[in-house]
């Protein structure tokens, strides 16, 4: 199978590319605009064999997308290209509307035109897999707000959409477009919605890498509000396995939620990182007695969702996928990766990213 992976130089996209090239015989066409968060160094050169092709293309460029489909003749699309930083979407929503909505529409149209030219067998086998987020569902009640003994609700595939930020609203819009293209035109689409990802090659504006790198530099670890917001954390390589399973085995027209079974408060995540660093990097920056001492609480952002939690029983029951990493094992692997790959993140930080930003906290 030849996979056209959009956003394949991004955090999750590059994990999918690495998984495909390391663990399958599929071919990959990696399509990425290479914005600030795209990094081809997230795909080791030893994996770039004859099965791999890179195309620097904007998903809003219809002419280039038509060329890509005609030239490469993919069997499936895995659409991961997106603007994904909530804080950036609040500061400037325009890029999110353009990439996440207009870009998805353009890609859908290019895929539809291509799909209609295929033979009956290839037309039936074709898949358009749209990768989305649990943030489209809005948020859930916090455990502190639920009566003792009452079950905590989870996001399911039938949860109503109620996005809170420009980012999540733009992703919700793209989800609706994908489903509309299936119902109206018959394009064989699948949608997945995932919880917060973490792991190797994560761009440093996100919570976990931001806190690791700030702590190593002896800088403040800024936590929104009181840090009680809850997220379900999914190790990115587990997510990549799930996505490839869905595009190969998932049912057309279905939605699959993908979660890590790891609900943690943001402050608990930061405490875990600090404790791992105490163990792994006991020699601290000058003036730092304890990594936890670097934690500072800052004004919460507008519309900050209280809790996300995924029910991923459907993908477990129907496709046999379960996460392999626990929160403990995944966090340790993540911290160890950043400690062992200083050259990667130092090159990233040498660009337009500023280390003193507040890490995106979901």
Active site residues: 134-135, 167
> Can you give the length of the chain in residues?
362
Nearest by Cα to 195 from 294, 87, 109, 311: 311
Q: What is the DSSP string of 254-320?
A: -EEEE--S-EEEHHHHHHHHHHHHHHH--SPPTT-S-GGGGEEEEPPPTT---B--B--HHHHHHH-
Residue partners of 117: CB distance under 8 A and separation at least 6: none
Nearest by Cα to 262 from 310, 193, 317, 201: 310
User: Which residues is 256 bridged to in the sheet?
Assistant: 192
d(CA 275, CA 268): 10
**Is the distance from CB of 156 to CB of 257 less than 8 angstroms?**
yes
Q: Helix, strand, or coil here: 77?
A: strand
**Is the distance from CB of 355 to CB of 214 less than 8 angstroms?**
yes
**Is the distance from CB of 30 to CB of 43 less than 8 angstroms?**
yes
Strand ordering across the sheet containing 230-235: 196-198, 230-235, 263-265
Pairing of strands 27-32, 52-56: parallel
CA distances for 304 relative to 25, 165, 195, 297, angstroms: 42, 8, 16, 15
Q: Helix, strand, or coil here: 323?
A: coil
Number of Cβ within a 10 Å radius of residue 252: 14
Ramachandran angles phi, psi of 227, nearest 5°:
75, 15
């Amino acid at each position: 199978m030849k996979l056209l992976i959009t956003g394949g130089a991004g955090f999750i996209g590059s994990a999918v590319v690495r998984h495909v090239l390391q663990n399958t015989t599929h071919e990959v066409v990696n399509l990425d605009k290479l914005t600030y968060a795209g990094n081809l160094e997230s795909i080791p050169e030893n994996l770039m064999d004859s099965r791999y092709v890179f195309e620097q293309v904007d998903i809003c460029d219809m002419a280039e997308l038509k060329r890509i489909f005609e030239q490469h003749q993919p069997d499936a699309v895995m659409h991961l290209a997106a603007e994904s930083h909530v804080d950036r979407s609040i500061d400037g929503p325009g890029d999110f509307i353009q990439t996440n909505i207009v870009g998805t529409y353009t890609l859908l149209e290019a895929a539809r035109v291509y799909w209609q030219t295929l033979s009956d067998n290839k037309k039936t086998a074709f898949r358009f897999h749209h990768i989305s987020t649990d943030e489209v569902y809005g948020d859930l009640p916090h455990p502190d707000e639920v009566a003792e003994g009452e079950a905590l609700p989870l996001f399911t595939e039938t949860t109503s959409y109620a996005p809170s930020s420009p980012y999540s609203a733009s992703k919700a819009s793209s989800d609706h477009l994908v489903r509309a293209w299936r119902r109206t035109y018959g394009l064989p689409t699948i949608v997945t919605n995932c919880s917060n990802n973490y792991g190797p090659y994560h761009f440093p504006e996100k919570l976990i890498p931001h806190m690791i790198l700030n702590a190593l530099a002896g800088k403040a670890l800024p936590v929104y509000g009181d840090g009680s917001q809850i997220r379900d954390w999914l190790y990115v390589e587990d997510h990549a396995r799930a996505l490839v399973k869905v595009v190969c085995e998932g049912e057309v027209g279905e939605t699959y939620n993908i979660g890590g079974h790891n609900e943690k408060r943001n402050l608990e995540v930061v405490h875990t990182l600090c404790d791992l660093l105490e163990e792994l990097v006991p020699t601290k920056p000058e003036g730092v007695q304890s990594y936890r001492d670097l934690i500072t609480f800052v004004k919460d952002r507008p519309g900050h969702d209280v809790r996300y939690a995924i029910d991923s029983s459907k993908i477990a029951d129907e496709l046999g996928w379960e996460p392999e990493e626990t929160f403990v094992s995944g966090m340790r692997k993540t911290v160890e990766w950043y400690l062992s790959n200083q050259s990667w993140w130092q090159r990233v930080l040498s660009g337009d990213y500023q280390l003193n930003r507040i890490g995106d906290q979901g």
